[in-house]
Amino acid sequence: MSITAEILSIGTELLLGDIINTDAQVISEGLSELGINLYYTSVVGDNPERIRRSVELAKSRADLLITTGGLGPTYDDITKETVSQCYGRRLVRHEETVRRLETYFSRRGITLTENNYSQAMLPEGCTVFTNEWGTAPGVAFDTEDGKSVIMLPGPPSECFPMWRECAMPWLASKSDACLVSRTIRVVGLGEAPMEAMLRPIIEKMTNPTVAPYAKVGECLLRVTAKAATKEEAFAMTEPVVADMCSRLGDVVYGVDAESLEARVVELFAEQGKTIATAESCTGGLVGERITSVPGASRVYLGGAVCYSNEMKTRLLGVKEETLARFGAVSRETAAEMARGARERTGADFAVALTGVAGPSESESKPMGLVYIAVAGDGIEVVRECTFGRAGGRERVRSNAATTALDMLRRALLGLKLEK
């Protein structure tokens, strides 16, 4: 039987826009992996009557309610009390949580006050998720009418790991089948054309299923299979993953890969090749993404962020006449930046980016115009990209960095670089 879920995020700060609701995003991804249908997400402030109405609405339309936030010790942390009342559960003192709180505060030399003890008041008969990342425990319980409730703390540093390590296993243990999800990561092909290409196949599939998703600068396909064991479910995904990869071709950069930058580092390390970067409009974003990968020092020699024309000339050897004739945002400048970065670092490959991140024009050139060059042994290619204004300055920078990383991947593997 298909299970439906609703996420209720609680906190006035979410409504005011003070923080972004990343909890709902992470939980929704996990529900998809578990094969649970998420039909609704909502946000409500720290008001007991509005929380009660939101919970009652969720009870009427979902099999599983997941709340985030409102489990702290302050006066406006009222999630447990309100949700428990809606389900007819009284709160009881959980002694193990009391001991954990006393140990936690004692080790930090902080006096434990009465409101801190309120975090140990939990719904009677619930499963307690120990909070290894903070103080407020999470809880889960089944209702008399066969539904389920999970309450998690709001701070992402606590919610994310507790969801993955506690709540998801609790949900999985309630199923008599095992789910396995595989991820095919795609760059250089939009969600709409990818979905149009694969729709006739996807629509006919029931187990495994295939679902497309869009991310900033890339897309992914999630292949999910259900079987009696994880081994059987994994085996069911194999031919589907192979077929999808074959149909999509070289826009697939990895299966179950962590990220594009992680895949680039992995590929360059396998072949013993090195990378250098030269960045203008991206301000070091490509280098930052590469160095965020553990072990990147095996392949990344370094980079230069040259925002001014003077620095492009002094650090990368871009000719003054090139800048005067073609401008900083040009094919010619990008090529000389990549060439200079490679020559000065001794890297096997260098990538360079120069463009207009916006919001205004530069050199009479539009926002979103970026030139990306890759230089390597026998390779020197410059690609003109038009990312447009949608999404603003940060979207231009992010898309440019993603394209640059993909060009490095393509250059190393001998794939087509120009589009």
pLDDT in tens, 250-299: 999 999 998 999 999 999 999 999 999 999 999 999 999 999 999 999 99
Instruction: Tell me: do 11 and 28 sit in the same domain.
Output: yes
**pLDDT score at 117:** 87
Give the residue, 1 or 23, on which the prediction is more confident. Answer: 23
Is residue 313 within 8 Å of 320, Cβ to Cβ? yes
Q: What is the CA radius of gyration of the chain?
A: 26
Give the chain's mean pLDDT: 92
pLDDT at 3: 86
Range of weakest confidence among 50-54, 71-75, 402-406: 71-75
CB 136: neighbour CB atoms within 10 A? 29
What single string gives the DSSP state of each residue in 217-285? TEEEEEEEEEESSHHHHHHHHHHHHHHHHHHHGGGEEEES-S-HHHHHHHHHHHHT--EEEEESTTTTH
177 and 228 Cβ atoms separated by less than 8 Å: yes
User: pLDDT tens across 318-336, in order?
Assistant: 999 999 999 999 999 999 9
Residue 42 in contact with residue 76, Cβ under 8 Å? no
**Residues 125 and 235 grouped into a single domain:** no
**One domain for residues 244 and 285:** no
CATH value at residue 362: 3.90.950.20
Q: Tell whether 231 is covered by a domain.
A: yes
DSSP code, position 119? G
Residue 419 lies in a domain: no
Domain count, the chain: 3
Is there a domain that residue 418 lies in? no
Token pair in block for residue 171: 């949900």
One domain for residues 309 and 249: no
N residues, the chain: 419
Residue 114 structure tokens = 């009465």
Quick one: 345 and 264 in the same domain? Answer: yes
Which pair of structure tokens corresponds to residue 200?
Answer: 């006739």
Q: Are residues 301 and 316 in the same domain?
A: yes
Note the pLDDT tens digit of each residue in 2-40: 789 999 999 999 999 999 999 999 999 888 888 788 999
Note the pLDDT of residue 295: 95
Q: H or E element: which one contains 355?
A: strand 349-355
Amino acid code (one letter) for 180: V
